[in-house]
Amino acid sequence: MALKLFNTLSRSVQEFIPLDPSGKNVGLYCCGPTVYDFAHIGNWRTFVFGDLVRRTLEFKGHAVTHVMNITDVEDKIIKRVRETKTSLREFTGKYEAAFLEDLDRLNCRKPTVMPRATEHIKEIISLIEKLIQRGVAYQAADGSVYFSIEKYRGCGCAYGRLLKLNFDELRAGERVKSDEYAKESAADFALWKARVPEDGDIFWPGPWGEGRPGWHIECSAMSLKVLGDSFDLHLGGEDLIFPHHEDEIAQSEGATGKPFVKYWLHGAFLLVEGKKMSKSLGNFFTLRDLLAKGFTGREIRYLLLTAHYRETFNFTLEGLQGAHTALARIDECVGKLREIIGTPASGTAQSDSQPAVPEAGAPTDLLARFAAALDDDLNISAAWAAVFEWVRETNKRIAENSLNASDAASALAAWEKVDSVLGIGTKSGTEIPAEILALAEARTAAKKAKDFKRADAIRDELKAKGWAIEDTPKGPKLKKI
Ligand SMILES: [Zn+2]
């Protein structure tokens, strides 16, 4: 089955084919946080979406190099450093640590590489030098360096790949120095910003004099360094399409002459309580605000994962209550499966009876339906529908007493595979993995068949995997060594 994704570059749903000829390795770059404040729930929607893409690729057997940069120098940061009278590193270090904590609370897998912009000034400078050599960047009178859209287009390159721009409105040579600007003010943008008094002591020596990098060039320099000139996937919130991602393409392709990214993925906007988030409306939430209200990272992750990534999503506190109920249903079902596996099969001596053809709700069906839903441009609603139908069906089979320990073990293993993508886990973090439970079950079966050699071999295998098994009057008990 092939994964299909909506590529902003082609404005269509396309089959995902990695650049790696073996089809195994995938390079994924997600624009990371600008560490000037705690990330809000809108930011987290994008990061959880990035985590879903990564986990889906891993579920499908790819080896993913997941890069997420830390933007630790740009306009907003410098302003805040000035206001708070701290040092750059002290200021950004605090928010970077908070970001990593929050990432963990939402059970996002830690990116493979998290490069900091301030640690890549050398790479940034050499990338700018390359753009000057290629004639698509120039130094202005104040020592700043700009990317020339006119020269870039003159070389036959397209600017405006991810969205349509009206070039009649663009006036050649006009410049924009700030990191963020609107489509209407598309103009030559700053790659290197000459030092000004407001920058304080935040500057680096460069071939054009003291200064600091522009925001856009940071991502190009770090992604090219870690993932190479061309890589598979680049992801971010839809608000980054212009100018940030458009500029990243121009800078990268302008320097290397090679296609930069094969698939561009963008997550849609998040509304909170039906409105655009704003501090004055009282609907602006950081992750920490929501945790302080008593919600868990797990509930928040679940809710963020209920909407398709290309749909505007209305995040509500009522939705979080619903998340609590939905998760409780999954927990109850998974808990019952664990109970069945952990209970000696006294009433169901024929636990080795042949399983019937998989019916709706059977583990194989869950996995197939779940995988097919993901393949369809990450159709998360269909994926959750498969999960909840499986919960219903499994509960029914448990109630009918028609699920033996080995059925339960394979159901649990299927759920764990599904959860390797959803990442919601179970309520307690100290649960016994399905693989271990299945081994324990196999040992019980071996003992029952008086195959003590095999039972002992399984005990050793469990030990090698870090688990001790102890026979008690209530049946075998597993303990982490
Ligand atoms: Zn970026």
Q: pLDDT (tens digit, 0 to 9) for every residue of the chain, 481 residues total?
A: 799 999 999 999 999 999 999 999 999 999 999 999 999 999 999 999 999 999 999 999 999 999 999 999 999 999 999 999 999 999 999 999 999 999 999 999 999 999 999 999 999 999 999 999 999 999 999 999 999 999 999 989 999 999 988 877 666 678 888 888 877 777 899 999 999 999 999 999 999 999 999 999 999 999 999 999 999 999 999 999 999 999 999 999 999 999 999 999 999 999 999 999 998 998 999 999 999 999 999 999 999 999 999 999 999 999 999 999 999 999 999 999 999 988 544 433 333 444 444 454 566 699 999 999 999 999 999 999 999 999 999 999 999 999 999 999 999 999 999 999 999 987 654 456 777 888 888 898 899 899 999 999 999 999 998 888 888 766 777 777 7
Give the separation between CA 99 and CA 460, rounded to whole angstroms: 41
Distances (CA, A) of 254 to 130, 247, 393, 404: 9, 10, 56, 62
Helix (H, G, I), strand (E, B) or coil at 452: helix
Specify the amino acid at residue 471.
Answer: D
Compute, in angstroms, the gap from residue 216 CA to the centroid of ligand 1.
6
**pTM of the predicted protein model:** 0.85
Radius of gyration over every alpha carbon of the chain, rounded to an integer in angstroms: 27
Give the separation between CA 481 and CA 463, rounded to whole angstroms: 8
Compute, in angstroms, the gap from residue 412 CA to the centroid of ligand 1.
39
In terms of DSSP H, where are the helices of 144-262? 149-154, 215-227, 246-256
Task: Give the pLDDT of residue 343.
Answer: 54
The answer to whether 423 and 107 are in contact (CB under 8 A) is: yes
CB atoms within 10 A of CB 208: 19
Compute, in angstroms, the gap from residue 368 CA to the centroid of ligand 1.
35
Give the separation between CA 16 and CA 18, rounded to whole angstroms: 6
Compute, in angstroms, the gap from residue 454 CA to the centroid of ligand 1.
55
* Dihedral in degrees, nearest 10, Cα atoms 417, 418, 419, 423: 120
410's torsion region: left (phi>0), alpha (psi -120 to 50) or beta? alpha
List all residues 6 or more positions away from 302 whose beta carbon is below 8 Å from its beta carbon: 323, 326, 327, 424
CB atoms within 10 A of CB 103: 24
Compute, in angstroms, the gap from residue 32 CA to the centroid of ligand 1.
7
DSSP 3-state percent helix, strand, coil across the chain (nearest 5): 50, 15, 35
Angle ∠(409,411,415) on CA atoms, nearest 5: 115
Could you list which residues have their CB under 5 Å from ion ligand 1? 31, 219
Task: Give the pLDDT of residue 352.
Answer: 41
Compute, in angstroms, the gap from residue 8 CA to the centroid of ligand 1.
15
Alpha carbon 316 to chain centroid, angstroms = 22
Phi, psi dihedral angles at 310 (to 5 degrees): -95, 5
Helix (H, G, I), strand (E, B) or coil at 431: coil
Specify the amino acid at residue 189.
Answer: F
Compute, in angstroms, the gap from residue 125 CA to the centroid of ligand 1.
17
Task: Give the tokens for residue 434.
Answer: 């399905």
Compute, in angstroms, the gap from residue 242 CA to the centroid of ligand 1.
11
Compute, in angstroms, the gap from residue 29 CA to the centroid of ligand 1.
8
Compute, in angstroms, the gap from residue 68 CA to the centroid of ligand 1.
9
Compute, in angstroms, the gap from residue 65 CA to the centroid of ligand 1.
16
Compute, in angstroms, the gap from residue 452 CA to the centroid of ligand 1.
59
Specify the amino acid at residue 250.
Answer: A
Compute, in angstroms, the gap from residue 187 CA to the centroid of ligand 1.
19
